[in-house]
Structure 1
Amino acid sequence: MALTLRTLTADDLAEFQRVVNASFLSDSVEDQLERWRGLFEPERHHAVFDGDELIGGGGIQTREITLPGAGPQPVAAVTSVGVKPGHRRRGVLTRVMRAQLHGLHEEGREAIAALWASEAAIYPRFGYGLAAEFARLEVPRGAEFHPGVSVDGERLREVSRDEAMPAMKAVYDDVRPGRTGWLSRLDAAWEHQFADTERDRDGLSAYHYVLHPQGYAVYRIKHDWRERGPRNELHVREIAARTDEAYAALYRYLLDVDLVGEVKSYTASDDPVVHLLDDVRLALRGRSDALWVRVVDVDRALTQRRYNSDVDAVLEVSDGFCPWNAGRWRFTVKDGTATVHRVDDAPDLVLDVQALGAAYLGGTRLAMLARAQRVSEVTEGALNAVSHALLGDREPHCPEVF
């Protein structure tokens, strides 16, 4: 039977959830439906049907993302992408990706899309580039800060969820405009990110909420009691602060929690806690892929953010999945602001749209991608000039999986 594709309705949510859960080899949980409903935009979800059977799909959340120097800008946050077991290798995912990206272009909506990838080999096929990583940090309890670190002396308190949430939202909204990669959060997103049923805990404790007048931290405990004493793990879910001193104070609090052996977190790859420590080797570090970015429209996307330095170069972009991006674009930056238009001039750099997406948030250097044979320099000096212009002031980081 021929496969068909359509957008969803509110009545499709339960079946769509079952298919997505099945695609991730998870059981369907009916009590999660209402949580999903708050994030579900049916008109922005596409599904493929084999007859009347829903066999795969994917959605978009309407969000904002902080871009280098430009603050929050629209992003198509791609989510809930999956294909039902038994229906793979039939082009279902390709149809969903094409519907999403071509639709964004035709409607003139978001100029970029972003996602977290279940498997890193999947989404480069559709033009997504690795734009942000996260760091896995492990620091032993009691690790000392270097002399001179200020923790501002403010009192920190552990409070209930109900007391914490308003303060957390206020801090997050204050901090987000300056943190490249952070997303806007409606109330439904807050509820989803900090859901706290037994299923959400995965064997850990309920959330603990710590408030500082200028920040907050949220953590769980993984219990580990041994004959020589407790070696519990403190797992940081999120930490945010308006000031560097408040950030240091929150981390100091977490490192001093009694009965803990190790503090573990998934954090920004340039998290300053490593350099707060008197002994940096105490922070064991690993890195992994986080946010993948897809440039939907080259000209609109490149003019949305700001840049580090002036540059004038012709970029020859290849894009087999979204052919309107293919061709030569003159990329000119003056005083941080870019203009982009099509030209027939000879190229200074040759790259594909995946490389452009990887560099878009300012964390992945085009010069490094050239060494990986993803970018070619035609005009001497163009590579370093464009690469430097694209860099951000800090590493991009997305503190939530959506």
Structure 2
Amino acid sequence: MALTLRTLTADDLAEFQRVLDAAFLADTTEEELERWRGIFEPERHHAVFDGDELIGGGGIQTRDMAVPGGGPQPVAAVTSVAVKPGHRRRGVLTRVMKAQLHGMHDEGREALAVLWASEAAIYPRYGYGLAAEYTQLGVPAKAMFRPGVSVGGERVREVARDEAVPVMKAIYDELLPSRTGWLSRAEANWNYQLSDTERDRGGLSAYRYVLHPHGYAVYRVKANWPERGPRYELHVREMAARDDEAYAALYRYLLDVDMVGELKFFTASDDPITHLLDDSRLALRNRFDSLWVRIVDVDRALTLRRYNSDVDAVLEVADGFCPWNSGRWRFTVKNGTATVRRVEDDPDVVLDVHALGAVYLGGTKLTSMARAQRVREVTKGAVNALSHVFSGDRDPHCPEVF
């Protein structure tokens, strides 16, 4: 039977959720359905049907994301991409990706799409580039800071959720414009991110909330009480602060929680903890991919962010999945602001749209992409110059999986 694709309605959520859970080997529950209902945008979800059977699909959350120097900009946060077991390798995912990206272009919507990839080999073929990484951090409890680190004199305290959340929202919104990779959060997004059912906990405790006058932290604990005494794990869900002293104070508080043996934190790849500690080797770090970026419209996307230095270069871009991006673009930056126009001039660099997405947030160097043979230099020095232009002041980081 021929496969068909259509946009979903609110009535399709339960069936769509069952397909999503089946693909990720999870059980569908009423709690999970309610958790999704608040952030489900049916008009931005596409599904493929084999007759009357929903066999796969994917959706978009309409969000803003902070880009280097440009503050929050509209972004399609791609989510819930799945194909039902038994129906894979039939072109289902390709149809969904095409509907999303071509739809954004045709409607003049977001110039950027972003996602977390369940499997890293899937999305490069649709033009997504690895633009950010995160660090899975482990630090022994009571680890000492180096001499000279200031944590100030402000009190850090644990509070109830109802007291913490309004403060967290205010701090998050204040910091968002300067935190590349952070996404805007409506009330439904906050509720989703801080959902605290047994399934969310994964064997850990309920969330604990910590406030500093200039920051906050959210954590869970995992019980561990061997013969020699308690060695709990403290899992930080999120930590943010207006200034470096407050950030250090929050770290100090969490490291000193009694009964804890180790702190674990899914954090930014340039988190300063190794430079705060007296013994930097105590911080064990594993890095993993986080945000993948897809440039939907080259000319629009490149003008949304700001850049480090002036440049005038012609980029020859290859994009087989979104052919309107293919061709040569004159990329000119003056005083941090870019202009982009289509030209027939000889290129200075040749690259594919995957590489352009990878460097967009400033966390992946264009020089690295050149060494990986995804960028070819035509004009000597062009790659180094452009690499500096695209680099950011801090590594991009997305503190939530969406």
Task: Normalising by structure 1, report the TM-score.
Answer: 0.99
Query: What does residue 7 of structure 2 align with?
Result: 7
Distance 2:31 2:71 in 1: 36
Query: What does residue 104 of structure 1 align with?
Result: 104
Query: What does residue 249 of structure 1 align with?
Result: 249
Distance 1:199 1:296 in 2: 35
Distance 2:174 2:147 in 1: 29
Deviation of 1:83 after TM superposition, in Å, equals 0.5
Q: What are the superposed Cα offsets for residues 163-213 of structure 1, whole Å, 9 maximum, x if unpaired?
A: 111011011111111100000001111111111111111111111100111
Distance 1:205 1:33 in 2: 22
Distance 1:278 1:29 in 2: 47
Distance 2:170 2:279 in 1: 34
**Is the CA contact 1:234–1:264 (under 8 Å) kept in the aligned structure 2?**
yes
Query: What does residue 400 of structure 1 align with?
Result: 400
Deviation of 1:12 after TM superposition, in Å, equals 0.7
Deviation of 1:328 after TM superposition, in Å, equals 0.4
Query: What does residue 193 of structure 2 align with?
Result: 193
Distance 1:57 1:162 in 2: 36
Query: What does residue 19 of structure 1 align with?
Result: 19
Query: What does residue 94 of structure 1 align with?
Result: 94
Query: What does residue 378 of structure 2 align with?
Result: 378
Deviation of 1:146 after TM superposition, in Å, equals 1.2
Query: What does residue 276 of structure 2 align with?
Result: 276
Q: Secondary structure at the match of 2:330?
A: strand
Distance 1:336 1:363 in 2: 17
Q: What are the superposed Cα offsets for residues 221-242 of structure 1, whole Å, 9 maximum, x if unpaired?
A: 1111011111111000000011
**Is the CA contact 1:35–1:188 (under 8 Å) kept in the aligned structure 2?**
no
Deviation of 1:72 after TM superposition, in Å, equals 0.5
Query: What does residue 292 of structure 1 align with?
Result: 292
Query: What does residue 41 of structure 2 align with?
Result: 41
Q: Which runs of 5+ in 2 are unaligned?
A: none
Query: What does residue 170 of structure 1 align with?
Result: 170
Distance 1:374 1:192 in 2: 37
Describe how 1:19-168 pairs up with structure 2 within 5 A. 19-168=19-168
Distance 1:2 1:30 in 2: 32
Deviation of 1:147 after TM superposition, in Å, equals 1.2
Query: What does residue 304 of structure 2 align with?
Result: 304
Query: What does residue 205 of structure 2 align with?
Result: 205
Query: What does residue 361 of structure 1 align with?
Result: 361
**Is the CA contact 1:233–1:262 (under 8 Å) kept in the aligned structure 2?**
yes
Amino acid at match of 2:233: E
Q: Secondary structure at the match of 2:288?
A: strand
Query: What does residue 322 of structure 2 align with?
Result: 322
Deviation of 1:399 after TM superposition, in Å, equals 0.3
Q: CA RMSD in A?
A: 0.6
**Is the CA contact 1:318–1:351 (under 8 Å) kept in the aligned structure 2?**
yes
Amino acid at match of 2:13: L
Query: What does residue 336 of structure 1 align with?
Result: 336
Give percent identity, aligned residues only: 78
Distance 1:49 1:383 in 2: 45
Deviation of 1:31 after TM superposition, in Å, equals 2.0
> Is 1:387 aligned with 2:396?
no
Deviation of 1:243 after TM superposition, in Å, equals 1.1
Query: What does residue 313 of structure 2 align with?
Result: 313
Distance 2:105 2:187 in 1: 28
Amino acid at match of 1:138: G
Amino acid at match of 1:276: L
Q: Secondary structure at the match of 1:148?
A: coil
How many residue pairs end up in the alignment?
Answer: 402
Amino acid at match of 2:83: V
Q: Which runs of 4+ in 1 moved over 4 A?
A: none
Distance 1:177 1:331 in 2: 24
Q: What are the superposed Cα offsets for residues 63-98 of structure 1, whole Å, 9 maximum, x if unpaired?
A: 000000111000000000000111101100000000
Distance 2:72 2:274 in 1: 28
